[in-house]
Chains A and B, each alone.
Chain A
Amino acid sequence: MHIESMKDKTKGKKIIPLKAPHLLHVPLPELFGNKPEPVVETGKRVKKYQVIGQAKEGFPAKVHSPVSGIVKKIGNILQADGKDGLCITIENDYQEEIDETQEKELVPEEYTSEELLRIVKDAGIVGEGGARFPTAVKYDVADQEIKTFFVNSAECEPYLTADYIIMKEKTAEFFEGIYLANLILKAKEVVIGIERQNKELEDIFAPFFKQEKYKDYKLEIVPDEYPQGGQLQLIDTIKGIKIPDDASSADYGYIMSNTGTVYAIYEAVVKHKPLIERIVTVSGEESDNYGNYRIKIGTPVGHILDTIEYTKKDPMIIMGGPMMGKYIYDLDTPIHKGAGGVLMLKKENIERLSCIGCGYCVDVCPMYLIPMKYEEHYRKKKYHKLKKYSIDDCIDCGSCEYICPCNVPLMESIFKGKSKLKELENEAG
């Protein structure tokens, strides 16, 4: 499905560091039921890069302080998914005093893959494409043979240019990040996938492909289709293999990472910087100050609006892209490691009509599901039918509701249906 890209607004904007806010709410996101625990106390001073959250067990990535300052509060702040999430609120003292506990001096080639993996883990790196799965866990493939390492640079969401701008401006760092990641993975083949609309990157990449280090890397230009940047879709486009949604792609010999993630790996290994900031596209309708900003994790959305002098009244604020992003209810909601964008869109009153069975959603569903059935069966409370119609294979891409001429609440039915099914399964034990 083709969607108007809207990327031209920010494609030409250089990366600008956004002034750090006075207060940051650094999230400690849960993963598979495990939470990173705060390892600092309220009232204590923290240094920049200092570990402030760490899980006792399970997979969650480490969380570091993006600034130096005082821990003001440890408590719940409304997150981008509309739920409360534990955050460490830090009052920035603008001293930028760095925690020097990390080792220095390095020639990446001298690192073993175990050491690199540990650096990635210690830097708290997670997938920056949105899913925020800890990269060190993903890369811990042990003896598994990896055929192909994919760098997912498709960035198929409209408006977003965060990945694009890294590739355009930080090309050397981007390539070095890929190289470092592949020292861990040891994949035989490295493929970078970009969309046709970003084809101009080919010229920027050309000199790098000539270098000895990167000469075997391949660039794949994929169609401007949504959701081309979905892991399964990209692998299929490039390799022609449809991996089931619940399978591990590593079992097929494939590992995929997002542009921002490999850039973070570069920063962690070469610059000793844990993941405390990321590139965020700030865009939407009508503002002069839209662009690609380097924003500290934990920066409240309200601070971004103030800094770019956004004056329009009552916009709809979205974190992430407009297709899969989350609606922001509270200006205190902080930027997290997977947030590629903050968008200010026009608030619209959506008139919901009944499904007329046009079948457009069936035509566009990338997973070949029948989305309209989810609305019908959720409405009728026939939850077992959701399962029958493979709701678990849905990747939440939003294509169905995007195309729906009747604005049927498909995504609401899908999200609520999925959590209802989970509830029922838990009850059943």
Chain B
Amino acid sequence: MRLDKIVYNPFVRADESASKVMTDVIIALIPSIIISTLAYGFYPVAVILVAISSAIVTEYLFSAIFSKDTKSIGDGSAIITGILLAFTVGPFTPLYVVAFGGATAVLFGKLLWGGIGRNRFNPALVGREFMTIFFPVIMGSNFIWHNKEVLNIKEITIFNNDFFDHIFYNVSGSIGEYSSFFLILGGIYLLIRQRISWHIPFGMLVAFILLVFVFSGYDLTYSFGGLFLGAIYMATDMPTSTSSPKAKVYFGCMIGVVCIACLVGGVTDGYFSYAILLMNAFVEPINWALRPKVWGRDKQIFTRTWQTALITLAILATTILVIYIHHLDGIKYLIYFFIVYSIVRFILMKMDKNILESK
């Protein structure tokens, strides 16, 4: 007798699930949501809710049509994508634009790539780029970011020190950036729950801050809130980041490097977004070059250093190219290409079921 369906070990499992991971991320983001209401009451909440609903509805419809399996809604990843997307836009962004962002985030950021875990680029940031490209006038205008008339609490003073008070609460920039303090607090929660490791945020923050000093002559303007939002929540997105300690530190560092390169290169808006999306594209080779040294085997220092150097060069070259394209106002063509590529890839994948199905 030959058994077709062997049941493999292990027969006990850790009390873990994808939805537990996602729930923890949502919990970590809640304080920042609350802080945003202190500033603008219901406006940011509306943006967040619309982004979430749009993401969920899109995922539901897509799954119902293409895979007849709508279970994936339950994993909570669409909720996170919605919140994170909302965190990167202004509280007065028109809600239909937000809905568009939420839908494109899950569609082009995740679903067309084969669903959760199979995506290459951070969905929330993909959604944000789509909003920028398809609604350039609205996304480029000032009114979406602030409105003094409906501002509830202008500032909070606890520390008698402007810097720390601003870290705690500072109404400027996007919805998620108001409180670095609560972003960090959420990050600490995720660290304790082992949903993120320290490597990526550490690498990114260290590289970023060091380079800010190195390029202090350039008078770079950046936001702390944005830095923490990017470092703790965007760069650490599991499917689109590296997976072993060394690769994580390198990945984080290079995001910091690309950020500063963008700033120095005159990209003042969305530089975090560019940096993270650009680095997302290099996850695979970084994971390979900086994989852990196998038990009892050679370090292969020479090969690995060489590979890492090549990857670094490629990243820097791509960065310069992206900055150049940005100044030519050509990012939209990249996005058009991305749209065509994702769709063609999806069709090919549908034809070859082996790639899509988990078994």
Contacts and interface: CB of A to CB of B under 8 A. Distances in A.
Interface of A: 3-4, 78, 82-84, 158, 232, 242-245, 247, 316, 318, 322-327, 329, 343, 345, 350, 352-360, 362, 365-370, 372, 379-381, 389-390, 393, 396, 398, 401-409, 411-412, 415
Contacts of A396: 9
Interface in B342-359: 354-355, 357-359
13 contacts: A4-B12, A318-B11, A323-B10, A323-B12, A325-B9, A327-B11, A329-B3, A358-B243, A368-B292, A370-B292, A379-B357, A379-B358, A401-B13
Given A243-B296, A356-B117, A362-B244, A405 B358 contact: no
Contact of B293 (A3, A350, A368): A368
Interface stretch (B14-22, B91-99, B307-315, B322-330): B14-22
A380 B354 contact: yes
A402 B295 contact: no
A323 B117 CA distance: 26
Nearest to A1: B14
A242 B295 CA distance: 6
A52 to B, nearest CB: 24
Nearest to A353: B18
A325 B11 contact: yes
Interface of B: 1-3, 6-14, 16-18, 20-21, 75, 77, 114-118, 197, 238-244, 287, 291-297, 354-355, 357-359
Contact of B18 (A326, A405, A411): A405
A367 B294 contact: yes
- Looking at chain A's contact residues, the main secondary structure is loop
A408 B8 CA distance: 12
Contact of B294 (A247, A353, A368, A409): A368
Given A362-B243, A368-B294, A379-B359, A405 B21 contact: yes
A372 B243 contact: yes
Given A245-B296, A381-B354, 6 more contacts: A316-B7, A316-B11, A323-B10, A352-B359, A406-B18, A412-B359
Contacts of B244: 359, 362, 370
B17 A326 contact: no
Nearest to A367: B295
A393 B12 contact: no
Contact of A244 (B8, B14, B287, B295): B295
Most chain B CB atoms below 10 A, which of A353, A366, A408: A353
Nearest to A324: B9
A350 B8 CA distance: 12
A405 B287 contact: no
Question: Would you list the 7 A-B pairs with minimal beta carbon distance, nearest first?
Answer: A244-B296, A359-B243, A398-B10, A405-B16, A368-B292, A327-B7, A354-B117
A73 to B, nearest CB: 16
A82 B3 contact: yes
Nearest to A364: B14
Contacts of A359: 197, 238, 242-244
B1 A402 contact: no
A327 B6 contact: yes
A356 B8 contact: no
Nearest to A370: B291
A8 to B, nearest CB: 15
Contacts of B287: 370
B75 A326 contact: no
B13 A407 contact: yes
A393 B295 contact: yes
Contacts of A3: 12, 14
A398 B293 CA distance: 19
B10 A324 contact: yes
Contacts of A78: 1
Contact of B10 (A362, A370, A393, A401): A401
A412 B9 CA distance: 8
Contacts of A402: 10, 12-14
A404 B20 CA distance: 12
Contacts of A370: 243-244, 287, 291-292
Contacts of A367: 294-295
B10 A411 contact: yes
Nearest to A159: B12
Contacts of B8: 327, 401, 409, 411-412, 415
B294 A322 contact: no
Nearest to B239: A357
B116 A326 contact: no
A351 B7 CA distance: 14
A370 to B, nearest CB: 6
A318 to B, nearest CB: 5
